[in-house]
Structure 1
Amino acid sequence: MPKRPSRVCRREMVCYLEAFRNRKFQTVFGIALISALITQMQVEAWTYHYSNLKSYSWNASRRFCQAYYTDLVAIQNQNEIAYLNEFLPYYPEYYWIGIRKINNVWTWVGTNKTLTKESENWAENEPNNKRNDQDCVEIYIKRTSSPGKWNDEPCMKRKRALCYKASCEPFSCNQHGECIETIGNYTCSCYPGFYGPECEYVIECKELDLFPGNMRMTCNHPLGNFSYKSTCNFYCMEGHRLNGASTLECSASGEWTAEIPECSVIECPALKSPEKGHVNCLKENVHRSSCSFSCEEGFRLKGEKVVWCTASGAWTAPVPLCEAITCDPLESPAHGSSSCSSSLTEFQYNSRCSFQCAEGFVLKGAETTECDMSGTWTAPAPVCHAKQCQDLSAPIKGHMSCSHPFGNFTYQSSCHFTCEEGFVLHGPRALRCLETGSWTSPPPHCEAITCKPLLPPEEGTMTCVHPFGDSRYKSTCQFSCNEGFSLVGSDTLHCTISGHWTADRPTCQAIKCPPLIAPPQGMLQCSGAHGNLGYNSTCEFSCKRGLTLMGAQRLKCTASGSWTTPPPYCKAIKCPVLNDPEWGSRECSYNQGDSRDSSICYFTCNKGFVLRGSESVQCLTSGEWTAPPPTCEVVKCPELTLHKPMLMNCSHPWGNFSYESTCIFYCPEGQVLNSSPEIKCQAEGNWSKKMPTCQEKPLSVQKALAYFGGAVASVSTLAIGGSILALLRKRFRQKDDGKRPLSPQSVMGTPGVFTNVAFDSAS
């Protein structure tokens, strides 16, 4: 039967409304559910829940139940079915419950438990599985036939979600029993070892108590002293044996799994004296008692001298034996003899032996030895060594072959000597070691074969290596030439086994460079100590007048056999290409891009501009112009000074008061200009007219309009500033006899660009 954690909400409707106001209700069901009446049936702690207005698929219904309750309802018994059928309202589509086919098995999804045969509540002929996708289960509520029964349906159909909110919680029954849901409550089915309504009590066993003695006890009480699951381990003191179970556990029935064990003393078996020996024991044959052994004179102990009785009841070692003392047999040394006081097979205690060597050999070790109480000889048996001659080695660049019948370089050793190829032996070819320990003669040596001495070549050097002496066999000489010279012949000579060098001595000859020819329109002259084309030769180049040399003037023959640079050539002199000056032009005595020697350039400026610099430049033989190219600067007119109360607006296309600058003048209200209102800066640097002045004379509106209209027409590209317009409006209002004033645009025309506007501070 499925278990359900118990958390009770008795005011779900209030909680949902409050959650919606706080924006916490944000699932796919939130808006639809809060707009519908969420109806619930409550039986104390365990409650059922369903939505009144909206239906969902099986998966959506389960997500809804898990989000706000426990899960889709799990049917436990017929009483629960009757309760649901009685109180749930009727809906034609019925209700989804928490059973689904998983891996072809009907399963309670809330607990992942398989639906048992006895818990099935299918309607008649159900589940029929008319189609393969009928994997979810609905419950009939208030159906005329089969009320409360189950039917399998496709999971995507939309039905009412029937949820439950369980009463069981994770800590129900104190985690010592299974929490079983009931309508309105739950009950606890306690696990073995626990009892009580909430399984809050644990079964206890009889308390264990030990009398002081040879036994020890350690206990572990996970659920309380001497209660269910308590375990006690028993140990005996050293030298004692445990009789009974070593571990007792308190079972769920309140009984210990065995009786308390006992400890008994451990004893070792009695020991006997060894033959030809004695035993001495302390105390009885109990734990930690000991026995020692000894042997009679002439015998020795084989085994442990002292044994101990262990806690397991066994001695640390078996009883030892007493054996007669004997020494290992001795043999006569090689190339010698021995004499002993006992037979060769016994060598018992106090036996004595003496030794001597043959001619040509010497005794190494004691001349006599005895067998002592420990069964060893007072000295090891000596050996006879052949007399030693001085060690020999093969001569340098030679070989030695020896035979040693009695050891390296000892009596009767013999050695034969030879030399390597290119070397000659000086001395006897064979030596022998005598019985006196000396050789028959001094050892020989090998000397290398000699070649004729060499000298370095003229204008060169020689470097030699003489591993066996000057100009001897395997001497090697290497030759090289000074810078600018090349070697003719072999660069390396070797002294051979025949006493001759591998080749004649080489010579050094000067290196030559390839021939040179004079460039077109030029000359060439060469000289050198080793010929005109030899190492360190120099060649000088020159060009005819009007041409310049392109490249190095002097070339030198290097040690690599090449000239220091490629040969030069002659080229006509040209100056850099010049461009037209800004606001001007140029005329040249040459074609574009061909500014040769003596070419001339002439420069002029556009109207209204003046030349700054030389009017002409000439190309020199050095490839440079006689002067930098000139520039064109705009012509300037005298700067105008305005007198109060007159006003002025100016335009300057090329700079303040420069060529084509135009200025227009205005008078304040009640005054008129005495001449033309416009003057212009001309190409010669003069103004086209004199600057006008203002005179006191009242004007009618019609005259003012006529006057300014003419001025506006003459400067249609200019506009009047804000202050001028204000003065005109004021004047026109006083003179127009109530007529509507004209707009500044109708008076002055299209606005233009103005600079240097001055106003009378009094106006």
Structure 2
Amino acid sequence: MGSAVGLCSSPRAWGCDWNIARLLCFAAISWVLMTQMEVGAWTYHYGDKSDYSWEVARNFCRSFYTDLVAIQNQREIAYLNSVLPHHSTYYWIGIRKINKVWTWVGTSKALTKEAENWASREPNNKGRNQDCVEMYIKRKEDAGKWNDERCQKKKRALCYQASCQSSSCSQRGDCIETIGNYTCDCYPGFYGPECEHVVRCKNLDPGPDCSHPLGEYSYNSTCKFQCQEGFELQGLDMLQCLESGNWTAEAPECAAVKCPALATPGRGGLNCTHWHGDFTYNSTCAFSCEMGFVRNGSETLECTALGQWTGLPPLCEAIKCPVLDSLSRGQLNCSHWHGDFMYNSTCAFSCETGFVRIGLETLECTALGQWTGSPPLCEAVKCPVLATPSRGQLNCTHWHGDFTYNSTCAFSCETGFVRNGSETLECTALGQWTGRPPRCEAVKCPVLDPPDRGQLNCTHWHGDFTYNSTCAFSCETGFVRNGSETLECTALGQWTGRPPRCEAVKCPVLDSPGRGQLNCTHWHGDFTYNSTCAFSCEMGFVRNGSEMLECTALGQWSDSPPHCGAIKCPVLDSPDRGQLNCTHWHGDFTYNSTCAFSCETGFVRNGSEILECTALGQWTGRPPRCEVMRCPKLRGLEPILMNCSHPLGSFSYGSVCRFHCTQGYFLNGTSRVQCQPDAHWSDKMPTCQEEAAPYFKQVLLYMGGGAVALVALLLTGMLIALLIKRLSDKEEEKTLLNPTSDLGVTGVFTNATFDSNL
């Protein structure tokens, strides 16, 4: 713990910023809670209180121990999974993705395929940037396996203290940590528990120049071999002691340098002396030739230390005559017995076709190296001289003299003229030309005809429709030229363009009007000069414009195209106390428009519900009216008094009637009825019944004074009830009369009954 506290006094020792240093110092001070497992010289350390990001966890491990743990084998994985406690966030280990490669950070070595210990379907880089590795300890699934995670996540640090030192394995091998110890993986050429021994090779015979960096004739010793002048090594000149204890090859030997074997020359002899073997270093050979032949080369050759003769082997050659060349425009045919143009060679001369020989036909090479005569000559055959044709040119090529064998003469004509005859004549071996000289005639163009509906006017300089002829075209009234006005016959026998056509003047294309038809007559093509078009409209539509148009010579129609407009019916209005709903197919109140009529509540339609605008511009009927609904008339008969208001007509929808009785009668039934939208009153008409006072008087006289008090009491109660009812009726009457007073309608109380004859 002393080292951890010392680092906290100087947080920059962590190699990170102040905040991370403070966090690591806090973790270091709390390391008293760390659990340590030690197996021999290799120790594991893990925290059981705090979680860190991967970088912080590694800085911690490197400050107090060696580094985050580096997993070396399955045995180590099994050991860690068995002794470490389970923790929900698991443990960071020393692997990280560097440049997209999983790397052991302690050794900077890439993770090999054989050493991978990933959990199933890992690494998956889920969520991206999962560049660090955690180890599942005592997990229900994939225990001891690895998973890639984001380096910022917080997990427990799993550290190790290495047992390997810089002096381990004698610095001649890799120190490999094991549980409880380390082993040495010796480099090639070394062996032993600490790689302290060096592999040896067998001793070599004295003579070579050797170097022994690790001991006499040991691993990496090298020996160089060389031979005296004239001798060469048979094998490698340098041997090295390999890690297997063997030399790179067998020791070489020295053998005399060899020269190429020599053969006896043709028409000669060979005599050699050999000191170290046939045709080897210091061998000498002497050459000689038969009579009639001379040696060409050195008389004696010697084999040098470089394996080469002191010169080329000589040849025995026959005596030569001067070399003869083939005749110009002739052939040379020789027979050589001892070589080209040697003694006894014979040569025959002949001339090519079209040439004749001047001189001897055959020559022979004598023993003095001279020919029996001078070589002959070959001269070309001649043809008659040719003249230049009229309106043309003559261009000749003379290979052997003017107008001689193989002379070729090409004939050409001036521009606009064509050759009648062969283009080229050649002088044959018989002194005759291959044909007659040609003539130059004017080029012809195809004969032109006047265009239909047009005229043709031509000028001919060298004959009808020949080179330089010009033809002008024109068209009749109402037709226009499609093409060039003037054509000229070119030197290629073609006109400067295609003959024009006289096409009828075009007017703009007409379309059938909407809801109409178009019927055209075309004399010279669709919508062209003299075309006539008649317009008509469908039923229910009327033409607006000219019925007939004609295409003029100016390419314009005689009038603007008409259009078909829908026939209109008279405009309809909504009925009083009703609504109007129309569908416009071709415009407001036009052909095929339909209008539906409806009435407000309390009113009924008198007439057709739907009207349609016909092709004659008339509706299918008269517009309907909305008439108010009427209830049965009421008639009052005494003692009933009736007062009615009629806002929309006598006893019609909305009419209200109120009822009262004359004195001595009371109302039996409703005091008010109203005419409803269905032409029914809201209630039955009431009746008036006679009051009961006279009856009570007779009872009192009969019963005497004892009953007077009781009757008086009953009568008083009835009067109070009638008074309350009368007051209530008057208040209701005021309420009902207020609306009708606004309409200016008043009623009078009359004796009333229902008029069933309404």
Per the normalisation by structure 1, the TM-score is 0.36
Per the normalisation by structure 2, the TM-score is 0.36
